[in-house]
Amino acid sequence: MPLRETHIVSGAQTKFGKLEGITLREMFAEAVDKATVDAGIAKEDIQAAFIGTFIPEMLVHQGHTAPLLVDYAGLRGLPATRHEAACASGATALRAGIMAIESGLYDTVLVAAAEKMTSVSTNKATEALAAAADDEFESSMGLTFPGVFAIAAVAHMQKYGTTEEDMALVAVKAHKNAAKNPLAQFQKEITLEKAMTPRYVAWPLKLFDCSPISDGAAAVVLTNREKAKKYTDTPIRIVGTGQASASMNLCDRTELTSFEGSVRAARIAYEMAGLTPKDIDVAVVHDCFTIAEIIATEDLGFFKPGEGAKAVREGVTAMDGDMPINPMGGLKAVGHPVGATGVKQAVVIYRELIGEAGANQVPNHDVGLMHNFGGTGATCVVNIMRRADA
């Protein structure tokens, strides 16, 4: 049965990138203000807050972030809890918000997420990111995140003939979309030649196959069916949500060319929504690396296994293609402040579905899907949303 109650009535993000001179709590408060007061939603209406941050303990030496952040944003007193699932922290916070509304416990809640990554050295940030993989059996051997996705890429290349150029085309598309997005970290197109620059991070993945280290925050307000129209004429209903876990270790996966957590979470979400991949007009997928986008579009059922690269080559996933993927530029070019990404994805789908995505607006926008992925794919969340009038 599709979810009935949960509606997104506002959504906003800060600019993503290296935000000099702005701390974690300040960017969080900026996103919250944009999603509440600036959208005509009084903070007094918010009854609980679900917060996504990945690893502020290592990045800004701060734990217990939920009360700290809501306090700074003027929401002191609310029940506020942090959700951590590496790069899927934001989407797991969103799911907690969905459950809170569906259960009827609250009428209106805030889901907000933030990560400040650029105040430490790249080495330190990389070390913090590595904590999302299994330290005991994989990281301790020198396997890095790009390495994990490189191993998946090699398997995909071998099984389906996917090429380094196919992956580079994902980066070219991401930058092309982000060039029109004023909130993106990289607002500049790149050529295929540049994307192919052989600066290997983890062979066969090169510099331009990887998402950057970023700062940023995002927030959405969720409310129930009854209240939704009070806040906006265009509420977006969340009709399906799925989450799954998988092994942290790559070696424990039977399949390397597909992420089983994505497949499982998608199946749950589609079933709940009563929809199929064909019903989706626009999707944001977790493109932490270019190969991850190709595999995600297969795991989500948009393309058959092995045909994700072909879809990129033929422009199917372009902003004006039949199945637009990451129309605002994805993690790759908009940036990836880890904990914030899942909520930012919800903001992107919200803006696309209400028709306010500006220069990044896709032509068909009744139904959207977001796919958020944690670490090596050990957590995966898929949410399906539709315009309440669609």
Binding stretches for other proteins (CB under 8 A)? 123, 126-127, 130, 134, 136-139, 141-144, 146-147, 150-152, 154-155, 158, 200-205, 249-252, 256
Instruction: In whole angstroms, give the CA distance from residue 234 to residue 17.
Output: 30
Nearer to other proteins among residue 29 and residue 152 (C-beta): 152
* 288 given a catalytic annotation: no
Min dist. Cβ of residue 142 to other proteins (A) = 4
Structure tokens at 264: 């499982």
Asked if 364 and 387 touch (Cβ cutoff 8 Å), the reply is no
Indicate left, alpha or beta for 302 from its phi (over 0: left) and psi (-120 to 50: alpha).
alpha
Strand order in the sheet with 216-223: 80-83, 48-52, 108-115, 216-223, 7-13, 236-245, 379-387, 367-374, 282-284
Instruction: In whole angstroms, give the CA distance from residue 192 to residue 312.
Output: 13
Asked if 110 and 221 touch (Cβ cutoff 8 Å), the reply is yes
Min dist. Cβ of residue 131 to other proteins (A) = 11
The active-site residue, picked from 87, 210, 288, 380, is 87
Instruction: In whole angstroms, give the CA distance from residue 56 to residue 339.
Output: 9
Q: Is the dihedral of CA 139, 115, 325, 201 positive or negative?
A: negative
Nearer to other proteins among residue 72 and residue 137 (C-beta): 137
Min dist. Cβ of residue 146 to other proteins (A) = 7
Min dist. Cβ of residue 150 to other proteins (A) = 4
Nearer to other proteins among residue 263 and residue 353 (C-beta): 263
Nearer to other proteins among residue 148 and residue 381 (C-beta): 148
What Å distances lie between residue 280 and 92, 244, 271, 315, 384, CA to CA?
21, 20, 13, 17, 8
Min dist. Cβ of residue 164 to other proteins (A) = 10
* 87 given a catalytic annotation: yes
The active-site residue, picked from 156, 175, 336, 371, is 336
Q: Is the dihedral of CA 75, 76, 81, 84 positive or negative?
A: positive
Nearer to other proteins among residue 143 and residue 333 (C-beta): 143
Nearer to other proteins among residue 261 and residue 342 (C-beta): 261
Min dist. Cβ of residue 170 to other proteins (A) = 18
Long-range CB contacts (< 8 A, 24+ apart) of 120-124?
120/58, 120/59, 120/60, 122/213, 124/58, 124/59
Q: Which residues are catalytic?
A: 87, 336
